[in-house]
Amino acid sequence: MASLAVHSKKHKVCIVGSGNWGTTIAKVVAENTQQHADIFESEVQMWVFQEQVHIPKDNRHYKSASDQPQNLTEIINSVHENVKYLPDIPLPHNIVANPDLVAAVKDATILVFNLPHQFIAKICQQLQGHIVPHARGISCIKGLAVSDEGCELFSERIGHELGIYCGALSGANIATEVAQEKFSETTVAYAPPEMDSRHPTPSGTPLPDAKGEEIDMKILSDGVQAGKKKLTPLPADYPPLHHGNMKKLFHRPYFHVYLVNDVAGVSLGGALKNIVALAAGFVSGLGWGDNAKAAVMRVGIMEEVKFGKMFFGSSVKTETFTEQSCGVADLITSCSGGRNFRCARMAVEEGKAIGVIEERELNGQSLQGTSTAYEVNSFLRKEGKEKEFPLFTAVYEILEGRHRPEEIPDLLNAGG
């Protein structure tokens, strides 16, 4: 039975990042904070890395005065459009672009991280000591953090650095299509800390997920520690952040959300599929057709599952990869029209380095697949497991120039 409790405070949301996908998520969230005014404050702060930009002449907001460069935040707040990273998409007026990171996150209880993964360490450092201790996070960052200590999810890194619980959002979500309100699905992984639920379970009791399965509380406790610091409970005067309210934050008629507890699986699906998309782009650039691409995708999803279970344990569910949008659906989309696929295909077709294509095609944004391929290979090499992941290893070797895309069949066969 639904609770009739009325809470005296509402959740304030901040989007940390404002690229193509970050601005799209800000649009989705801002629509929902207006709709669910009993749970969320309407205003959504969006942190924007300040840039001087020109409004393009073919943009509906162009005027002769636009020939002078302007601050991107001022453009967004005046015309309600991110003319550089999400052009021609009207944004809700309750989005406030803010160039000051600390000011943007002030009093925010929900932080949605959506920026290139190479910047997350610096951002977390800047945020330390400036967020409310009971804040909760959602990472939309597709990548892996690899260091001498091992392989870490960005949801974990954010949680550890900031002392907060952090879930993950990932799916078959080409940003522009979502922004244009074309139907799509996504997966949100959020295992609500028991202290945040409306009816807390006894300490140590597993929590059921949306399908009634149990999650390992040890995994949850790992995710809510920051060194020796324990998770600060969400105060009782805020609405609880269970699956139902998290769904209200992201679900739209055109953007369907499915909640699970497998944060590691959702994060890995979003990261590793970018490596597979590069391989699919390579074989497509060779003109080998759909059969070759399907073969690469089949091997790729098997390696995703294997990587998750081998290095992140029993909390990773096979069905996260085979049934959810963050798994098989994201893989299909990324290997059909995603930026990693397109740039890899053009690199082969034009005989150019993928970095050249990236610089030409992405308007200052970065490919996630290349950096993830390097980081994953570094980790696998350290673990002595390169041969057990022949597709991931082949992509790295091709990027390094040690093998050619034409050698992919032999490289996959060499892995057994």
49 known ligand binder: yes
Contact 133, 166 (CB under 8 A): no
Q: How many residues does the chain have?
A: 416
Residue 265, helix vs strand vs coil:
helix
Q: Copy the structure tokens of residue 350.
A: 């034009």
Contact 249, 40 (CB under 8 A): yes
Q: What is the 8-class DSSP label of residue 63?
A: -
17 known ligand binder: yes
What's the rounded Cα separation, in Å, for the pair 356 and 351?
10
Contact 341, 284 (CB under 8 A): yes
379 known ligand binder: no
191 known ligand binder: no
Q: Clarify whether 57 is annotated catalytic.
A: no
Instruction: Pick the closest to residue 171 from 293, 338, 371 (CA basis).
Output: 338
The dihedral through the CA atoms of 316, 321, 322, 326 has a sign that is: positive
- Please report the beta strands in 93-195, taking only residues with DSSP state E, as ranges in sequence order: 95-98, 110-113, 136-139, 144-147, 150-153, 165-170, 184-189
175 known ligand binder: yes
325 known ligand binder: no
378 known ligand binder: no
Q: For strand 110-113 and strand 136-139, is the pairing parallel, antiparallel, or unpaired?
A: parallel
381 known ligand binder: no
Q: Residue 33: which region, alpha, beta or left (left: phi > 0; alpha: psi -120 to 50)? A: alpha
18 known ligand binder: yes
Query: Among the options 273, 293, 309, 317, which is catalytic?
Result: 273
What's the rounded Cα separation, in Å, for the pair 408 and 344?
14
Contact 186, 171 (CB under 8 A): yes
Backbone Cα Rg of the chain: 21
Q: Which residues are annotated as a binding site?
A: 17-22, 49, 119, 142, 175, 339-340, 368
Q: Which residues are annotated as a binding site for NAD(+)?
A: 17-22, 49, 119, 175, 339, 368
Q: Which sequence positions are flagged as catalytic?
A: 273
Q: Which residues are annotated as a binding site for substrate?
A: 142, 339-340
